[in-house]
Amino acid sequence: MSRVAVIGTGYVGLTTGACLAHLGHAVVCADIDQAKIELLQSGRIPIYEQGLEALVADGLATRRLQFVVGAAQAVEDARAEFVFLCVQTPQGPDGSADLRYVEQASAEIGPALATGAVVITKSTVPVGSARVVERALARTDVAVVSNPEFLREGQAVHDCLHPDRIVIGSDDQAAAAKVAALYQGLNAPAMVTDPATAETIKYACNAFLATKVSFINAIANLCQAVGADVRDVVLGMGYDKRIGFEFLKPGPGWGGSCFPKDSRALVRIAEDAGYDFELLKGVIAVNDLQFRLLADRIAELAGGAHTNPVVAVWGLTFKAGTDDLRDSPAISVVERLLAGGATIKAYDPTVNRTLPAHFDHLDIEVCDDPYAACAGAAVLTVLTEWDEFRWLDFEKVAGVMAAPAILDARNLLDPISLRRRGFVYEGLGRK
Ligand X SMILES: NC(=O)c1ccc[n+]([C@@H]2O[C@H](COP(=O)([O-])OP(=O)(O)OC[C@H]3O[C@@H](n4cnc5c(N)ncnc54)[C@H](O)[C@@H]3O)[C@@H](O)[C@H]2O)c1
Binding ligand X by CB under 6 A: which of 45, 55, 65, 105?
105
Instruction: Please name which of 117, 178, 100, 122 lies closest in space to residue 7, comparing C-alpha atoms.
Output: 122
**Segment 194-223, which members bind ligand X (CB under 6 A)?**
none
Instruction: Please name which of 308, 225, 209 lies closest in space to residue 259, comparing C-alpha atoms.
Output: 209
- Residue 13 vs 349, nearer CB to ligand X: 13
From the list 9-17, 165-173, 181-189, 217-225, the region that binds ligand X by CB under 6 A is 9-17
Binding ligand X by CB under 6 A: which of 50, 92, 101, 180?
101
Min CB(31)–ligand X separation in Å: 4
**Segment 12-41, which members bind ligand X (CB under 6 A)?**
12-13, 30-33, 36
Distance CA 313, CA 345 (A): 6
Q: Does 423 bind ligand X (CB under 6 A)?
A: no
Q: Does 328 bind ligand X (CB under 6 A)?
A: no
- Residue 131 vs 390, nearer CB to ligand X: 131
Min CB(331)–ligand X separation in Å: 16
Q: Per-residue x/- marks for ligand X, 37-76, CB under 6 A? A: ----------------------------------x-----
Binding ligand X by CB under 6 A: which of 66, 124, 170, 224?
124
Q: Which residues contact 390 (CB under 8 A, 6 or more apart)?
A: 412, 413, 414
From the list 58-66, 85-93, 162-170, 415-423, the region that binds ligand X by CB under 6 A is 85-93
Contact by Cβ (8 Å): 18, 40? no
Q: Does 149 bind ligand X (CB under 6 A)?
A: yes
Distance CA 264, CA 280 (A): 8
From the list 3-11, 20-28, 225-233, 376-384, the region that binds ligand X by CB under 6 A is 3-11
Distance CA 222, CA 212 (A): 15
Instruction: Please name which of 15, 35, 42, 11 lies closest in space to residue 27, comparing C-alpha atoms.
Output: 15
Min CB(194)–ligand X separation in Å: 20
From 29, 223, 258, 374, the catalytic residue: 258
**Segment 390-409, which members bind ligand X (CB under 6 A)?**
none
Active-site annotation holds for 258: yes
- Residue 7 vs 52, nearer CB to ligand X: 7
Tell me the Ramachandran region of residue 287: left when phi exceeds 0, alpha when psi lies from -120 to 50, beta otherwise: alpha
From the list 101-109, 132-140, 213-221, 351-359, the region that binds ligand X by CB under 6 A is 101-109
Min CB(353)–ligand X separation in Å: 23
Q: What are phi and psi of 266, to 5 degrees?
A: -70, -40
Binding ligand X by CB under 6 A: which of 4, 5, 9, 410?
9
**Segment 253-272, which members bind ligand X (CB under 6 A)?**
257-258
- Residue 11 vs 389, nearer CB to ligand X: 11
Residues that bind ligand X (CB under 6 A): 7-13, 30-33, 36, 71, 86-89, 101, 104-105, 108, 123-124, 149, 151, 153, 257-258
| Catalytically active residues, by annotation | 258
